[in-house]
Amino acid sequence: MRVSTVSGFAVSARSAVVATNSPINDRVALHTKQAPYRTYAMAFEIARDVLPDALYWDTLDPYHYVRLQPGEGKTDFLIVGGEDHKTGQADDADDRFAALADWIKGLVPDIGTEATRWSGQVMETVDYAGFIGRNPGNRHVFVVTGDSGQGITHGVVAGQLISDLILKGESPWRELYEPSRKTVRAIGDYLAENATTIRSFAEYVAPGEIDSADKLRPGEGAIVREGLTKVAAFRDEDGTLHKRSASCTHVGCHVHWNSLERCWDCPCHGSHFAVDGTALNGPAVSPLGSVG
Ligand code: FES
């Protein structure tokens, strides 16, 4: 097979592995079995040996996770994460960080000052195991996705499992991570996750979030209706207005503004776009369309 990129790079190979976090090689097959969630994390200084070094998490909804990162001298970092929501369905990062800080300070009163905070996106599968193996319908195309917050573990699994499938034709882990699997338990989740897509298309007939892009202040983004078109509008610090189509270039869902990361997020399958429309995160690979 021949794999080529938009920048003109091309390679021929017997097998190809798509390890792009969210697969960019199909429009539907795996995207209807996993959903994107935005997660939030903070790092606090903590004196060494206050907590045993382990992975901790709870079973709340939304859940929380805690781990230690070695620092210098006698100070380590306590990384606290969680307060997840489905991508594009909330834009209240400050509240999520405040909830995270309250939660950990209630459990570990001895933590020090906050060192940094960030957010990221997690692809959750319907049964919380990754999709690692042959792409459905392809013999020589392999995928790694649906890490469900276990990307480091899944990376190791993928390295072993996919190399075995390519070189030996079989792996003892094949069935567990089979991308084409469908469990009975997962069917309810499958239907619920795909309701996001239906809701997203309904947004095209709703009014814009503001009635005119003139109302945007520097650093703000919002969806504006212009005639029959929905526009993703952002005003930068210089006052320049950036306008792109609000239609995701994967399969057309309606993007949402992410004020923390300053990008446009697609709630359906997790694509992200920069304020100038550039595709930042798959499955979309093309920029948001231009508007007149
Ligand atoms: Fe699939 Fe946007 S990521 S429609």
Confidence (pLDDT) at 229: 86
- Find the distance separating the first CA and the last CA of the chain, reported in whole Å: 39
Query: Residue 192: is its pLDDT beyond 90?
Result: no
Distance 70 CA to ligand 1 centre (A): 37
The answer to whether the 38-125 and 204-281 domains have the same CATH topology is no
User: Ligand 1 in contact with 158 (CB < 6 A)?
Assistant: no
Give, in order, the Cα–Cα distances in Å from 148 to each of 16, 35, 122, 216.
23, 9, 6, 36
Q: Look up tokens 């570990």; give the residue.
A: 108
Q: Look up tokens 């300070």; give the residue.
A: 105
**Which strand (E) or helix (H) includes residue 59?**
none
- CATH, domain range 38-125: 3.30.70
Q: Give the architecture-level CATH label for domain 204-281.
A: 3-layer Sandwich (2.102)
Beginning with the edge strand found earlier in the chain, give each strand of the sheet holding 56-57 in spatial order: 56-57, 64-69, 75-86, 34-47, 114-125
Distance CA 119, CA 100 (A): 12
The pLDDT tens digits for 202-216 are 676 666 677 888 888
Distance CA 47, CA 192 (A): 43
Distance 235 CA to ligand 1 centre (A): 24
Query: Residue 88: is its pLDDT beyond 60?
Result: yes
Q: Look up tokens 């919380």; give the residue.
A: 128
Distance CA 198, CA 194 (A): 7
Average pLDDT of the chain is: 89
- pTM of the entire structure? 0.86
Q: Look up tokens 């800080």; give the residue.
A: 101
Shortest-distance atom of ligand 1 to CA 251: 4
Distance 73 CA to ligand 1 centre (A): 45
State the DSSP code for 40.
Answer: E
Query: Residue 184: is its pLDDT beyond 80?
Result: no
User: Ligand 1 in contact with 64 (CB < 6 A)?
Assistant: no
What values do phi and psi take at 231, rounded to 5? -120, 135
Domain ranges of the chain: 38-125, 204-281
Query: Residue 190: is its pLDDT beyond 60?
Result: no
The pLDDT tens digits for 30-70 are 888 889 999 999 999 999 988 899 989 898 888 899 999 99
Distance CA 201, CA 163 (A): 39
User: Ligand 1 in contact with 266 (CB < 6 A)?
Assistant: yes
What SS3 class is residue 162?
helix
Distance 42 CA to ligand 1 centre (A): 28
